Structure 1
Amino acid sequence: MMRKTLPWAIAGLALVWTVLPAGSQSTNTGASNGNDTYRQLNLFGEVFERVRADYVEKVTDEQLVESAINGMLSSLDPHSSFLNAKNYRDMQVQTRGEFGGLGIEVTMDNGVVKVVSPIDETPAARAGLRPNDLITHLDGEAVLGLSLPEAVEKMRGPVNSDIKLTVRRGTGEPFELTLTRAVIKVQSVRSRLEGEIGYVRITSFTEQTDVGLKNAVQKLKTEAGDKLKGFVLDLRNNPGGLLDQAVSVSDAFLEKGEIVSTRARKPDDGQRYNARPGDLADGKPVVVLINGGSASASEIVAGALQDHRRAVILGTRSFGKGSVQSIIPLAGHGAMRLTTARYYTPSGRSIQAKGIDPDIVVEAARIEKVATGPQRREADLRGSLRNPDQPPGAQPVPANQGPATTPTQDSGPQGPVSPEEDYQLQRALDMIRGISLYQSRTAN
């Protein structure tokens, strides 16, 4: 079978791919270039034998072949790679929503490990790692020269063991963080009521995401009853996951139309995914939160809901991962992750290296109290008229002398914040309230 996802390697988590049957890849070499191919293979064989015989230290044939394969794949793009049998098993575990490691989604950038996003409530998130952080050393050993799977393998290890990361953030000086490895159990969907608005956060797209979303929305409907005004779908720092789950989540809010299409090198290999009737939100307003850590499958959902005008996209531009990787099993030798297609939003947009631009840009900020000093109001003026709706003898409404609330740009560590401090979330909630109020007034 073929399973598609939108990729990453995680310390660990793996993301958007497809699984192809072993032996399904085709050969398309004509007779005209057959001789050239054999000459190149002879060159490879000659180098292989010379390294095997003369390298300063003994290297096994398995090491040489695996390194050669991985070098061939990793030279194509940042997301193609070779998975030996162990890494392939790890990847299969990860897509089921449970894995061991640090809980950080990573890719490679100019030879060092780049953080795509930390997963909520994991060692990486608690340590304050942020999207776009660069990890240059692992336990004092330089990452430069390692492949992505090799770097990820070093970040994995026994539960409760420590690892020291050297991190470079922006133009600042490198700093060190010590993280304790843990069993990462990803509950990919979390939800709660924010007043009369349903808040749903999806942290990654695993095999259980669509079921988790349906259960969460049903629970919110039961708790809020007829007072439910709408939903906020939080995809911030969601690195992606399984393509079919991204399609299911998009379908949950759409009645009809295309969700996403993929285009491969061969026109016949392209696919289109369409929505089926049924809106889980019952037509209520939806706001989707995204940021620079929203990648791959997250961008499919945001792009589909944006193009169909089913949701307002709020936040900052997403990561821009617009390619699909196929996981091709290699019998007895693990698998290869190969970029096989690009995906496009319903309007035909490719977001590769561009990302999804939000409908309303709201930068990350925290909310803090700012003292404004005493403020006089009409009720404070001597001899002011009494409100006729107040009973005789009632005290006038006191002046607002409390501090005002204002957003400030967040320059501190990106750790967990309370809903009251999350400026982007508060803007999303205000938007739902405004849309609901407008709809109720125009309906009367």
Structure 2
Amino acid sequence: MPLSSSPHLHDFNRVLFRKFGVLLLLLGLSACSGTYHDPNKSYDLSASYDQQVASRLFSQGFEHVTEFYIEEIDASRLALAAMDNLATIDPEIEIIDHGDSLTLNYAGEPVSRHGYPSTLSSYAWARLTASVITEARTLSSDFNHASGEQIYQAAFDGIAGELDRFSRYSRPDIARTDRDNRNGFFGLGIRYLKVPKGARVLSVMENTPAESAGLEKEDIITQVNNRDISQLTETVITGLMKGPENSRVGLTVQRNQKNPITLQFEITRKKITVQTVSSSIHDNIVYLHISSFNKYTTSNMRSKVRKAQKELGENLKGYIIDLRDNGGGLLGTAIKTADLFISSGTIITTRGRHPDSQNDSSADSQDIAKGLPIIVLINSNSASSSEILTAGLQDSGRAIVIGSNSFGKGTVQRLKDLPNGAEMRVTWARFHAPSGYAIHKRGIIPDICTTMGNAQTVEDIISLLKSGILPIADDVRSASPALDDEIALDNIKATCPQSNTTSELEKDIAEYLLASPALFDLAKGRTTPTTSQVTN
């Protein structure tokens, strides 16, 4: 399904597969359609520049930006920015804007003059851009040796430079990775690291063909379909392992490096979804960690909650939802996840220039947690969709929030699939918490702040709570200064300074509060401190 028909995508961090210097590869194909696409054909980053392809590509990119970007911007500005950025490939290329025409200079000398289109049509300006690039290729050796994708990237980087920092172009291979994370893919369900012998399995995902077949962490894959992979790149190895749904792949595996044995596997590729929700139980408290939001997060969350309820029954004390380091994901999924726990009221409001961007999302289901207490953990890396879930639960009175001020990425991006397999995303709306404040630039202020003063232990926080200093006042948490009022925004954020740590302190505080209903109510602002309430 084209993402343009399901536009409410919102993210801060793409789930890239490089972390701490380790390459993580989820093996599979995009599940956006049921057909198999040859990755070497569809995503050939070395293909030559094609003027007709460029015209279509720029036309669709310009049109997407001019129609949906949160601020009005015309195609001429985008085209000139795209052409001006061609200097990143060859600094001798220079575009001189005369107001009604442009001059293409090379090495300081004018080469040609091009009149501007008489219309702001995206197609007309895209044709001009593609034509100028074709001419530049006849002048510049650097351009002549650049691939089509390198040229497209330079042009779109120029376009993105006219927009906000969350609008961007993702080249085809990165776009495919992003689609896999959002939608799932057909594959095996392993993560691996390229090593001299082949591919060392870093982890085997639950409920996947790889797990069913018996692959294990630390196995080294040496052959794929009888082909030695020791000298192949990650891209080629991944290409060998992926394929259409229900197709089979043969793996030769070396297990136990001290006394190695060789094993043969034949595995059927199946639909793989990136697992974003993990759960555990401690002292009758359910701990739910959400790493990001893809199209399966809500259903996974629901199933894990129900499983815990069945296991614990009446002994279940409450829930901790950990959103620390959660950079976001799908906006619609964040709303649906909030709706699992909120019975009524507004979850989030979005406002932008395009009429379709103006939405009020309200809860319309029953609280799956059945009223049991909920605590949300956040830090400065909690952004976008995780902030939507946090704001909805906090403002509805459904949860206490513990941690530090969140990131403050309060914008929504709309995606466009481009003809070369790339994606263009543009900011088209800002979202507001149920109490009305704009999340952008200010973030979510928690009820219980763990970064204020010398509050370094659970005892410190409980002491602040009992003394009435915490929770942070409602009027501070819901303050809504203008986005350009930097002083006011800084003052709000200073009430709970940002921290990117994920220490055990927040979890310990949450467990302490869930074990004490009186202290939980105090932290929620339902009561005022009294002697009887603070001696438990």
Tell me the TM-score normalized by structure 1: 0.60
**Partner of residue 116, structure 2:** 39
Is the Cα contact below 8 Å between 2:513 and 2:519 reproduced in 1?
no
How far apart in 2 are the matches of 1:361 and 1:210? Answer: 27
How far apart in 1 are the matches of 2:514 and 2:237? Answer: 42
How far apart in 2 are the matches of 1:257 and 1:438? Answer: 23
Q: 2:9 aligns with which of 1, 5, 13?
A: 5
How far apart in 2 are the matches of 1:4 and 1:229? Answer: 35
**Partner of residue 52, structure 1:** 137
How far residue 88 of structure 1 moved from its aligned partner, in angstroms, is: 2.6
Q: 1:188 aligns with which of 276, 291, 307?
A: 276
How far apart in 2 are the matches of 1:362 and 1:438? Answer: 16
How far apart in 1 are the matches of 2:290 and 2:148? Answer: 43
How far residue 187 of structure 1 moved from its aligned partner, in angstroms, is: 2.3
How far apart in 2 are the matches of 1:36 and 1:102? Answer: 54
**Partner of residue 388, structure 1:** none
Is the Cα contact below 8 Å between 1:97 and 1:188 reproduced in 2?
no
Is the Cα contact below 8 Å between 2:181 and 2:273 reproduced in 1?
no
> Is 1:427 matched with 2:509?
yes
Q: How does 1:27-426 map to 2 (within 5 A)?
A: 39=116, 41=125, 44=129, 48-49=133-134, 51-57=136-142, 58=144, 59-61=146-148, 63-96=150-183, 186-267=274-355, 269-363=357-451, 422-426=504-508
Is the Cα contact below 8 Å between 2:514 and 2:520 reproduced in 1?
no
How far residue 253 of structure 1 moved from its aligned partner, in angstroms, is: 0.7
> For residue 165 of structure 2, what is the amino acid of its counterpart?
P
Is the Cα contact below 8 Å between 1:315 and 1:358 reproduced in 2?
yes
How far residue 359 of structure 1 moved from its aligned partner, in angstroms, is: 0.7
More displaced stretch, 249-258 vs 428-437: 428-437
> For residue 5 of structure 1, what is the amino acid of its counterpart?
L
How far apart in 1 are the matches of 2:155 and 2:299? Answer: 41
| CA deviation map 1:319-371 (0-9, x unaligned) | 11111111112245533111111111111211112110101101499979xxx
How far residue 64 of structure 1 moved from its aligned partner, in angstroms, is: 2.3
Q: 1:45 to 1:221 in 2, by over 3 A?
A: closer
How far residue 428 of structure 1 moved from its aligned partner, in angstroms, is: 0.5
How far apart in 1 are the matches of 2:412 and 2:140? Answer: 38
| CA deviation map 1:210-241 (0-9, x unaligned) | 11111111111122111112111111111111
SS of 2:14's equivalent in the other structure is strand
Is the Cα contact below 8 Å between 2:450 and 2:456 reproduced in 1?
no
Is the Cα contact below 8 Å between 1:293 and 1:319 reproduced in 2?
yes
How far apart in 1 are the matches of 2:293 and 2:356? Answer: 27
| CA deviation map 1:14-39 (0-9, x unaligned) | xxxxx9xx798476999xx9x95972
How far residue 306 of structure 1 moved from its aligned partner, in angstroms, is: 1.0
How far residue 303 of structure 1 moved from its aligned partner, in angstroms, is: 0.6
Q: 1:290 to 1:158 in 2, by over 3 A?
A: farther
How far residue 313 of structure 1 moved from its aligned partner, in angstroms, is: 0.5
CA RMSD of aligned residues (A): 4.2
How far residue 194 of structure 1 moved from its aligned partner, in angstroms, is: 1.5
Q: 1:334 to 1:61 in 2, by over 3 A?
A: closer
SS of 1:319's equivalent in the other structure is coil
Q: 1:223 to 1:47 in 2, by over 3 A?
A: same
How far residue 9 of structure 1 moved from its aligned partner, in angstroms, is: 2.6
Is the Cα contact below 8 Å between 1:328 and 1:335 reproduced in 2?
yes
List, as ranges, runs of 4+ consecutive aligned residues in structure 1 with deviation greater than 6 Å. Answer: 98-103, 364-368, 436-439
Q: Which runs of 5 or more residues in structure 2 are unaligned? A: 19-31, 33-59, 78-98, 102-114, 118-124, 194-201, 204-233, 239-271, 459-499, 522-531
| CA deviation map 1:77-97 (0-9, x unaligned) | 222122333333222111135
How far apart in 2 are the matches of 1:239 and 1:11? Answer: 12
How far apart in 1 are the matches of 2:17 and 2:348? Answer: 27
Q: 1:159 to 1:63 in 2, by over 3 A?
A: closer
Q: Which runs of 5 or more residues in structure 1 are unaligned? A: 14-18, 104-120, 123-155, 161-183, 369-412
How far residue 43 of structure 1 moved from its aligned partner, in angstroms, is: 7.8
> For residue 435 of structure 1, what is the amino acid of its counterpart?
P
> For residue 181 of structure 2, what is the amino acid of its counterpart?
Q
SS of 2:516's equivalent in the other structure is helix
Is the Cα contact below 8 Å between 1:363 and 1:424 reproduced in 2?
no
What is the identity percentage for the equivalent residue pairs of Structure 1 and Structure 2? Answer: 31
Is the Cα contact below 8 Å between 2:15 and 2:178 reproduced in 1?
no
Is the Cα contact below 8 Å between 1:259 and 1:274 reproduced in 2?
yes
Tell me the TM-score normalized by structure 2: 0.51
